[in-house]
Amino acid sequence: MLEAHAHKQLKNLLKSSSPSWPHDLTLSRLVARSLRRMDHTHIQLEHGSQDKFWLGLLVPLCLDESGAVLVLTDSQRRRLFNSELPRLKQKGFTLCCWEAINPPPSGQLWLLNPTGLIHAYKNGYLKSRQLIIPEAERLSERLRESMSLVITDQDWDRLRRAHPSAESSLIELHKKLTFRLFSHATREDAHIRIPSNGILALKDLLRMIAPLPPPWSAFIEADSLNWASWAELDHRMLTWSWQLMPLEPLEVLPGLLKDQPVVLLTGSGKNDFLSTQFQAVAFPATVVANLSEPSLQEPISLFAPPRQPMPNTEVYGQHLLDQCRRLILGQQGLTIVLLNDQQLRRQLASELAAEFGSRVIHETTAPDSNGVLCCRWSWWIEHQDQVPLPEQLIVGLLPIPSLESPLVAARVESLKAKRRDWFRDLLLPEALSLLPSAVAPLRRNCGRLAILDGRLRRRSWGEQVLKALEPWSPLQHLLPD
């Protein structure tokens, strides 16, 4: 059997390797079993295991000739080619990889990025092929980015040139939308929801003048009930770009995880929010395995004093500045300040720079050894491998998605229409899912975590935030190094 063969080969390989991940052999058997049976498998890895699965995944693929599909991001693909495949080659393993957008003619491993995966699914290339998706907890996010549409002034011009008979109607419709969007803007460069009647009027017109150049053909297919649609205004040029994103990509592509065998590797442990997403698209998991590890993490020191002001109060900005100043003064190493609110983040970075000078930077991967890096949560998670380990993380605001985001607002409206608890079913779980990966570098450096968001102690859901951060120990007073 493939499982036994993969187990034996990997065991021999590990004898001559440095200390391995304890689940290498188990993972190889699970992957090999799924490849042989062509089933639906969900393998749950612990936080921090994202880079440890490669051997257990690749050895069965080296021995299999079924032509599986491995879905990788650009960074994962670089690691595969620059590190993992050369290491396997030294041990006598070869893996034939096919990188074209169309399927391989024989049994090579087909490498696709999320955009290529969507293309293959829509063209029926995935039938009877085993899908393998590492970091599947971020699959929805990556599919959403790949499926997103951006319509600019140049796209309107191309549409008018393709159909001169409809030019006057298109110009008039564009003018009406432009006037309405700018008249509803409350600040410069705002993001404004596109009115539904404007979308319907445009789609009615486009259906009469087909065929359409891209991206208009994709725009026609986008169901307004399942897609968020908004305009990003440029007051300097008095222009706007039209942004469209699917609310829940897995529901827009309902057969992606159901119509062909799939192995999902998730690195967020047991994640109820993720399980709900998979259940929503009827993912028929025949095997669910949780490869947990004994917790050997040292508790991080958590500074979260009671009676902090709420973020919507007038004094919060000053509170944030005062506490950040105290926290930075007592530290010698790198400090990361996490804050999604752009206006508040830039204001805080400016005020801190007035006191600490060039030590303070904004979303740059080259901080001083004692620097202060202000950034969004998503930026930090994406770039933390390019930044030295921090001595301190300061949470200015917990990463609760903001309803000012048109995408978030549209997803909330969709849940409201289904009479669901949009905060506990969407906003809170998404925030909790970010916490372990955000604080992981801090644990490796035995650093300090400070949470200055008053909601942590004043809201009932604050206990769930504290639980997601475990293990931690309370820090009652600030002491200098």
pLDDT at 294: 59
Share of the chain above pLDDT 70, in %: 97
Q: How far, in Å, CA of 442 to CA of 396, rounded? A: 16
Q: At what angle do helices 24-37 and 2-15 cross, to 10 degrees?
A: 150
Model-wide pTM > 0.85 = yes
Q: How far, in Å, CA of 321 to CA of 396, rounded? A: 9
Domains contained in the chain, CATH given: 2-146+250-291 (3.40.50.300), 151-240 (no CATH), 300-474 (3.40.50.300)
Q: Once rounded to an integer, what is the mean pLDDT over residues 281-297?
A: 80
Q: Once rounded to an integer, what is the mean pLDDT over residues 303-331?
A: 93
Strands (E), 306-409: 335-338, 360-362, 372-375, 392-395
DSSP three-state, residue 190: coil
pLDDT at 331: 82
Task: Please name the residues in contact with 278: beta carbons below 8 A apart, sequence gap of 6 or more.
Answer: 42, 250, 257, 264, 285
DSSP three-state, residue 398: coil
More confident residue, 245 or 296: 245
pLDDT at 106 over 90: no
The answer to whether the CB of 42 falls within 8 A of the CB of 288 is yes
pLDDT at 452: 97
pLDDT tens column, 344-393:
999 999 999 999 999 999 999 999 999 999 999 999 998 998 999 999 99
pLDDT at 80: 95
Strands 227-234 and 191-193, how do they pair? antiparallel
Q: How far, in Å, CA of 332 to CA of 422, rounded? A: 42
The answer to whether the CB of 255 falls within 8 A of the CB of 284 is no
* Mean predicted lDDT score pLDDT of the chain: 91
Q: How far, in Å, CA of 156 to CA of 150, rounded? A: 11
pLDDT at 426 over 80: yes
pLDDT at 295: 56
- As a dihedral over the C-alpha atoms of residue 220, residue 222, residue 227, residue 232, rounded to 10 degrees, the angle is -40
- In eight-state DSSP terms, residue 471 is S
Q: Two tokens at 71?
A: 């879905």
pLDDT at 79: 93
Q: At what angle do helices 428-444 and 272-280 cross, to 10 degrees?
A: 130
pLDDT tens column, 439-476:
989 988 889 999 999 999 999 999 999 999 988 999 88
